């Protein structure tokens, strides 16, 4: 039985990680889209009123994706409790996805003097 539970848990974990990755990709795309709309409006030399509803709807979509991500994170935490309750303890299932390396490149942000302005 423990082996079966581990196999099932591994399938659940793999699907969870894929879903988390998909939501992150959706959030990245949606925020990129939202951010480019004002730039596109300016590039086309259109009034600030032009496309406002579209921007608001895209912002609402970003908020919805963010909420979905929050709920998935909560599901992840809840599954950890299930994992413990069915006797699996702490098991690393992370080998199913390739996590990106932590950025080693220095940030382009820098501290400015307090009274610079």
Digit-by-digit pLDDT tens for the chain (117 residues) are 688 888 998 899 999 999 999 999 999 999 999 999 999 999 999 999 999 999 999 999 999 999 999 999 999 999 999 988 888 876 555 554 455 555 555 656 666 676 655
Half-sphere exposure of 89 (CA within 13 A, CB side): 1
DSSP assigned state of 110 = -
Entry pTM: 0.71
């Amino acid at each position: 039985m423990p082996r079966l539970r581990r196999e099932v848990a591994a399938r659940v974990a793999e699907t969870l990680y894929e879903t988390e990755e998909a939501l992150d990709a959706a959030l990245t795309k949606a925020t990129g889209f939202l951010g480019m709309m004002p730039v596109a409006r300016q590039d086309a030399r259109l009034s600030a009123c032009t496309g406002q509803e579209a921007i608001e709807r895209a912002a609402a979509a970003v908020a919805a994706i963010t909420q979905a991500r929050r709920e998935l994170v909560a599901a992840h935490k809840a599954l950890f409790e299930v994992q413990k309750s069915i006797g699996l303890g702490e098991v690393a299932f992370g080998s199913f996805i390739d996590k990106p390396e932590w950025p080693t490149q220095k940030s382009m942000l820098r501290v400015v003097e307090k009274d610079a302005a």
